[in-house]
Amino acid sequence: MSEIVFKGKEFVYNHHLAVPFRPLIVHPDKGIGKPSLEGNLVIHGDNLHVLKALIPQYFNKISCVFIDPPYNTGHEGWCYNDRVNSPMLRDWLLQTVGIDDGLRHDKWCAMMWPRLTLLRELMNEEGLIFVTIDDNQQPHLRLLMDEVFGRTNFISQFVVLTNPRGRSLRKDVAQMHEYALLYARNAESAFINKIQKTEKALNEYKHKDENGLFRLLRLRNTGIDKFNRKTRSNLYFPIFVDPQTCSTSLVQDDTHSILVLPITDDGRHGCWTWSKAKISASPKLIVGRKVRGGKYRIYRKDYLQGDKYSTLPKSLLLGKLFNHEVGKESLRDILPEKAAEFPHPKSPELVKELIRLSSKTGIVLDSFAGSGTTAQAVLELNQEEGARRRFILVEMESYADHTTAERVRRVIRGYDYTGTQKTELLREKITWTKLKNSCKLLDQVESIENRHGREYDRISKKVDGRELVVTGERKVKSQTEGLGGSFTYCSLGEPVNIDKMLTGENLPTYEGIGAMLFHMATNQVLETAGVREKDFYLGTTGDRHVWLMYKPNLDWLKSTEAALTLTRAKEFASYDQDKHHLVFSPARFVSRKTLSEMKLSVEFAPLPLSLYRIAQT
């Protein structure tokens, strides 16, 4: 497998391990509903630090990641701000990335590497990650994703028509598309939803019998270059058709007299897609049809039943709703005062099209949240599909509250809408005959203007493709109904500083330090609902209970009350004599030998030395 090489890779390869743990600080007044770290979240802070902060509670829990990172075109003016363990490299990285920066791709890779690594740790075994990008950085992203997630976990590269007119930044080719790379945490266990068939696809089921609607599919394999009489000789055999009923048989008789072979119109010998055994098991599904020239073709009935209403997602996304103009309109409708700050917001429909492939009850994480499109997409999908997805949005810029979170507030509560309501009044195909009688067409348009001019603020006339479209436009102001829901707004607290913990200057909360210790000790997430702080109980795993003798009070931590004693050890062990008990405590007054002699399955882990061990892992 090819390995990506970029300046600074050796310094950022394990940089995620050196990122300090920072607790999440809840701001109840900025969210909606009862604050909870287990619900929808909007988090303000550097996404690298936030991802590290999420590890204790969300390790291996995220089912879908959608990120829209900087495209690194040289025009964004972004700056790498991770504190890597190399002063010289840090100075180089801190320079603003511009179009003339010959190493801007290296800086971008250095920025993305630790973030992708942490995102992978947060994803569960069925998890998917979508990363949008354009041609400028796509080759580097593919190599990064291959190395972080593994080449075998690549699923697809979606091509999205985001700008039908084409971008004018380049002098040679007008770029109309972008990409969305899809990787899995584990391709073998990844969960990917099918999508609903379009109305056009459903219309193919135009035939009907006593078993329901069906379409006819050619039984001859169309991939004749690979699948033919020579390569699949067992699938080359005659099928006989009854010209009266069009039923088929593998055996010629008085009624089934028309012989049909899998031969193309130009005489090449192909093969069938079904074997004799499969046809014999479902003979009524195979029928013959007479076509032009008097020949017969063999078809199979494909009924519109069960999962036939859905289909595999396509890697080419061409819908008009996916382009950037839709993203701009959506943002203008909800946050008109902020729309100018985001020139290329993603369309909510595009984000919905991607994340609907993930679990309907999972958590969707966006660590480059921007204007908050992903939250809107999740809330809309939940309403449309009856799903129960949750979202976690992370935004480091100062607009996290007044733009990212504000968009979520308005989508949940509803918002005032001021816009243009359009009503189509005429749609006429432009043909040569119509052009020869253009006066008649112009009279028709003028008549529409006379009849409807007072009903609208403006009558719009334009040629769209080969059609003339006349539209009545009226400015409207109304209240858009909210989608409902809740979210909690958080920011990052100060890093857990081990040295300051020793002096008591910076003591984290019980739940904050407990979540970190529990995860590091068990590699699992702490279920906060089971924490009993008064009893010093954190939680349990399959083989052990975890206890934490801790209070954010330096005097108490220095007292004898904070030490693990024989009495305490007996209390913890009696809680469940069939499991092992791990106790985090500042000190102990009972030896390991005594615990062993008394057959108490209790293990002591010292504080804050345990924190040092964790920090250096």
pLDDT tier, 613 (very low <50, low <70, confident <90, very high otherwise): very low
At 75 the pLDDT is 52
Looking at the chain, the whole-number percentage of residues with pLDDT higher than 70 is 91
Mean pLDDT of 464-468: 75
pLDDT of residue 92: 46
Assigned domain for 2 exists: no
Which segment of 112-121, 414-423, 605-614 scores lowest on mean pLDDT?
Answer: 605-614
Within this chain, do residues 584 and 512 fall inside the same structural domain, yes or no?
yes
For the chain, give the percent of residues with pLDDT over 90.
54
pLDDT in tens, 398-429: 999 999 999 999 999 998 877 777 777 888 88
Of the two residues 434 and 95, the one the predictor is more confident about is 434
487 in any annotated domain: no
- The two tokens of residue 334 are 């909800």
In the listed set 285, 309, 333, which residue is the last one of a domain according to the structure? Answer: 309
For residue 483, tell me if it sits in a domain: no
**Tell me: the pLDDT tens digits for 507-532?**
888 888 888 788 777 767 778 888 99
Same domain flag for 407 and 329: yes
Sorting pLDDT into bands at 50, 70 and 90, what band is 148? very high
Asked if residue 504 is part of any domain, the answer here is yes
Name, in order, each residue with C-beta under 8 angstroms of 488's C-beta and a sequence gap of 6 or more.
26, 28, 31, 33, 35, 36, 37, 39, 40, 41, 42
Q: What is the pLDDT of residue 72?
A: 67
Whether residue 29 sits in one domain with residue 129 = yes
Are residues 305 and 326 located together in one domain of the fold?
Answer: no
Question: Dihedrals φ, ψ of 444, to 5°?
Answer: -65, -40
Residues 6+ apart with CB under 8 A from 238: 250, 252, 259, 260, 261
Q: Which of 71-85, 113-127, 258-272, 597-611 has the lowest mean pLDDT?
A: 71-85
What confidence tier does 83 reach under pLDDT thresholds 50, 70, 90? Answer: low
Highest mean pLDDT among 68-82, 146-160, 551-565 belongs to 146-160
Q: How large is the average pLDDT for residues 257-266?
A: 94
Span 308-327, average pLDDT: 88
Looking from the CA of 467 toward its CB, the CA atoms found within 13 Å total 9
Is residue 78 located within the same domain as residue 96?
yes
Q: What per-residue confidence (pLDDT) applies to 445?
A: 85
In this model, does residue 76 exceed pLDDT 70?
no
pLDDT at 79 over 80: no
If asked whether residues 68 and 96 sit together in one domain, one would say: yes
Residue 427's nearest CA partner among 461, 390, 468, 366 is: 468
Place 91 in a pLDDT band, splitting at 50, 70 and 90. Answer: low
- Helix or strand holding residue 418 (H, E): strand 414-429
> Using the 8-state DSSP alphabet, how is residue 238 labeled?
-
Q: Round to whole Å and give the CA distance between 430 and 467.
A: 5
**Domain final residue, candidates 309, 340, 359:** 309
* 491 domain residue, yes or no: no
Give the β-pairing of 458-464 and 467-481: antiparallel
Question: Do 577 and 465 lie in a common domain?
Answer: no
Residue 543 has a pLDDT of 86
What's residue 607's pLDDT? 75
Choose between 434 and 383: higher pLDDT.
Answer: 383
- Same domain? For 550 and 524 the reply is yes
Q: What are the tokens at 438?
A: 């253009």
440-447: average pLDDT: 84
Q: Is the pLDDT of residue 614 over 50?
A: no
Closest CA to 517 of 544, 478, 546: 546
Worst-scoring range by mean pLDDT, 98-112, 225-239, 331-345, 532-546? 98-112
pLDDT tens, 276-285?
999 999 999 9
What is the structure's pLDDT at 295?
92
Same-domain status, 42 and 165: yes
- Under 8 Å CB-to-CB from 272, ≥6 apart: which residues? 219, 220, 221, 235, 236, 237, 239, 262, 279, 298
Would you state the structure tokens that stand for residue 339, as one six-digit string?
Answer: 């729309």
Q: Please return the burial class of 183, using the count of CB atoms within 10 Å of its CB with bins 0-12, 13-18 and 19+.
A: buried
Q: Within this chain, do residues 73 and 24 fall inside the same structural domain, yes or no?
A: yes
DSSP, res 535:
G
Distance CA(46)–CA(19), nearest Å, equals: 11
Cβ within 8 Å of residue 339, ≥6 positions away: 328, 331, 332
Domain membership flag for residue 480: no
Residue 610 has pLDDT above 80, yes or no: no
Whether residue 589 is predicted with pLDDT greater than 80 in this model: the reply is: yes
Whether 484 maps to a domain, the answer reads: no
C-alpha dihedral (148, 154, 156, 161), degrees to nearest 10: 10
How many distinct structural domains can be found in the chain? 4
Are 171 and 320 in the same domain?
yes
Query: Is 160 in the same domain as 75?
Result: yes
- Structural domain including 463 reads 420-475
Rounded Cα–Cα distance for residues 418 and 407 (Å): 16
> Stretch 595-601: mean pLDDT, rounded?
92
pLDDT tens profile 152-199: 999 999 999 998 888 766 678 888 999 999 999 999 999 899 888 877
pLDDT at 86 over 70: no
Q: Which of 372, 396, 415 is the last residue of a domain?
A: 415
pLDDT at 608 over 60: no
**pLDDT tens-digit readout, 489-512:** 999 988 876 666 656 667 888 888
Amino acid at 383: Q
- At 469 the pLDDT is 85
Has residue 485 been placed in a domain? no
Mean pLDDT of the 1-12 span:
81
Q: What whole-number distance in Å separates Cα of residue 102 and Cα of residue 83?
A: 22
pLDDT digits (tens, 9 = 90+) for 344-369: 899 999 999 999 999 999 999 999 99
Rounded to 5 degrees, what are φ and ψ at 227? -120, 105
Instruction: Calculate helix-pair angle for 324-334, 406-413, nearest 10 degrees.
Output: 80
